[in-house]
Structure 1
């Protein structure tokens, strides 16, 4: 049973820590709020500002330092001596629904619409609520994303079929409880890359592929830390140097694990199937309009994977389509970096409009679009080129990845999405059960 698995220190509930402030006290509430926001993936530059606003409302002085693996908070009130708390915490699975509900709680407290006691109860309900979409849907969506990304990257029929098998196998390993122990989770990037490589070379041996690279990167695209890399660069750009550096190194380690998996998979595939090399040629076998079908399918699947509510799908699709079109069109005329900048600017503006009009969480719109825009797949390609001893090509690709990443961050900052906008109305109550896929 999953409940019998050992719980790491980072996942330990603060209620189980001896002598910690009660969750109904203002300090206890803020400690649990900051851990929840950190777990759901709020960047440091947003999290520190949001918590400062909460503390101001509760008449506490607060200094917060957030890094990817821990949170340090110092509280000051009246003549009391400062009290400092350190929380060990890692980012958990992406869950846009829980993230948006937690942010609603924070703003309700800031606006004086909710007490800390009520907020603490809401946080407990959010934490204990079941995911909107169950793991069987997650496995299917892993496969669907792999198929769609394979087409977006220019794959033909053979590559798409191979990517579907790769995405299905990786989805099973990521979502089945038996493989979700802490040790296996830490090795999942390498394991997923190994499986994807073996499947790709196996299909290449039996059926012949124009590109063995496309099925590999399509099968593991959800695990590639492109969003983590982008957030790292955003934190560096906003002078959160410790957090940005740590996150940047963390994404680098994940890339290295994946390349290790590809390396082992390539050597074993060579022993089983003969000569095995990562090939990146693209054979356009399908009409261009199928790309838009792929974008639609990937937007829906990523909405499910990120635990976003179905009623936000049209905004998600609009953001993905518009940013993809703008980035491709501008990229063809002005270059890759300009395409990334205007693509990020477009999706940031659409996300902000969606929030202002319908209170759609900005993360719900931006994250699916960023799967296509972020330089994660470019970074993976850079390391595979280094693996194939193409030093010049690998360094050139890595440099292009850095330029694309900087362009994305600049586009986001310009679109005013670097900080969380303050709601102008009281957040509507969320009925969790009405859209859950069981």
Structure 2
């Protein structure tokens, strides 16, 4: 570090910020982590993060106070959770801070993380969509036909996502096309194969795209006074729900125009063992979708299962909102404790622990039902459920961080 120039240190902090943002780090954790790394590198940095980019203002400590030397704007685009690369970036930053790597080697190591997904990674992504849709349908205790339709649709949506990676125009309409695909598959299956829990099957098919985690992170950022980032993230989540609903509504409208009448039923016949199998399958699916390292799969799966169990049994004991609060509190505290003990990002525990608690499916169900009935009152119950769940989650995240503080914010 002593041999590195001021420009080299700025370049490393900028590169690290790009990677942390690209791997789904929230505004408050991003700014805290970047500020700490910059101080360790003897650079004063004032970061400002939002979902679309980062502004970094640097000052040489040898210069007069509040004199900004360099301002950089970093635009990696909308980030996506990638636990394997997040852990790698965190390890590189740790090695540079501790002197195990010089700054040039650290930048080179960060550059090596930038590569296009391999065929194996894309195959795992598609598998994750398939398993997640299957698992959520099982957790909803849907009949076997409903589970099969949700699984098949999840597979098709995963393939559509892989196809959109190299086609910008397809990527722009991906969410609406996914909603159209999910609605069309559910309607055709209900007409040709048998009655379905129609809306629930559609939601299970789209579960990976439902922005429940985004809504939760947005509420958390707003609670931490990151108003611009929280508002932007919240608006993005709302538009994702709108796009998914638009696609579903088009499918229903086309079916009505063609005279196709879907057979709808409300039936949840599955025994308890199906729920437990679905829970294990869902935990594995989210380990795949969060793109964790293979050796971290047991940890990620245990966190997902633990969060669900605390929420379920805590909810049976104290009420649904209290169960969600306890689960968020436990997973946040456990994630921070793991980060301190293992010197690795607590996101490995925190994100999987709350993924099954987020209210995205309730939000989508409410909007779809409201559009189908053209009645605002239909969505009020869902909106209240979303609000209660978000309050419980944010309270759990806040008090979990108070109980055990985060290690270097990640």
Both structures adopt the same fold (TM-score exceeding 0.5): yes
CA offset digits 1:84-115 (Å, max 9, x no partner): 12222312342110011112222333344433
The Cα of 1:379 is off from its aligned counterpart by: 0.8
Q: Is the 8 A contact 2:91 2:344 kept in 1?
A: no
Matching residue of 2:154: 167
Q: Residues 419 and 37 of structure 1: is their aligned pair in 2 closer, same or farther, counting only changes over 3 Å?
A: farther
The alpha carbon displacement at 1:353 in A equals 4.4
Gaps of 5+ in 1: 1-21, 424-438
**Offset from partner CA, 1:383-438 (integer Å, 9 cap, x none):** 11221224223022112201201211211222229974149xxxxxxxxxxxxxxx
Cα pair distance change 1:188/1:381, threshold 3 Å:
same
Aligned equivalent of 1:208: 194
Task: Give the equivalent residue in structure 2 for 1:324.
Answer: 308
2:97 paired with 1:110: yes
Deviations 1:197-226 (A, max 9, x none): 000111111222341112211111111111
Moved over 6 A (4+): none
Secondary structure at the counterpart of residue 54 of structure 2 = strand
User: Which one of the candidate residues 24, 37, 43 is aligned to 1:60?
Assistant: 43
Change beyond 3 A, Cα 1:98–1:70: same
1:243 to 226, 229, 238: 229
What is the rounded CA distance, in whole Å, between the counterparts of 2:343 and 2:36 in structure 1? 20
Question: What number of residue pairs does the alignment pair up?
Answer: 399
8 Å contact from structure 1 (residues 211, 282) kept in 2: yes
Partner of 1:49 in structure 2? 32
| Pairwise CA distance, 1:298 | 1.3
1:27 aligns with 2:10: yes
TM-align CA RMSD: 2.5
1:392 and 2:373 are equivalent in the alignment = no
Shift in CA distance, 338/179, structure 1 to aligned 2, threshold 3 Å: same
Once the 2 structures are TM-superposed, how far is the Cα of residue 284 of structure 1 from its aligned partner? 2.4
- Whole-angstrom distance in 2 between the partners of 1:300 and 1:54: 33
Structure 2 distance, partners of 1:348, 1:70, is 26
Q: Find the partner of 2:284 among 300, 303, 307.
A: 300
**Contact 1:159-1:210 within 8 A present in 2 as well:** yes
How big is the shift at 1:186? 2.3
Indicate conservation of the 8 Å contact 2:141/2:274, yes or no: no
Which of 337, 343, 358 is the equivalent residue of 1:374?
Answer: 358
Question: Judging changes above 3 Å, is the alpha-carbon distance between structure 1 residues 234 and 309 closer, same or farther for their aligned structure 2 residues?
Answer: same
Task: Give, in whole Å, the separation in 1 of the partners of 2:146 and 2:191.
Answer: 13
Counterparts of 2:325 and 2:384, CA distance in 1: 16
Q: Name which of structure 1's ranges 75-84 and 224-233 shifts more when overlaid on structure 2.
A: 75-84
| Segment of structure 1 superposing worse, 398-407 or 37-46 | 398-407
- Judging changes above 3 Å, is the alpha-carbon distance between structure 1 residues 376 and 192 closer, same or farther for their aligned structure 2 residues? same
Q: Which residue of 2 aligns with 1:431?
A: none
Structure 1 residues 132 and 195: alpha-carbon distance in aligned structure 2, compared to 1, 3 A threshold? closer
Farther-moved stretch of structure 1 (356-365 vs 382-391): 356-365
Q: Distance in 1 between matches of 2:309 and 2:63?
A: 58
Structure 2 length as normaliser, TM-score? 0.90
Supply the distance in 2 between the matched residues of 1:144 and 1:95 (Cα, whole angstroms). 18
Q: Is the 8 A contact 2:23 2:86 kept in 1?
A: yes
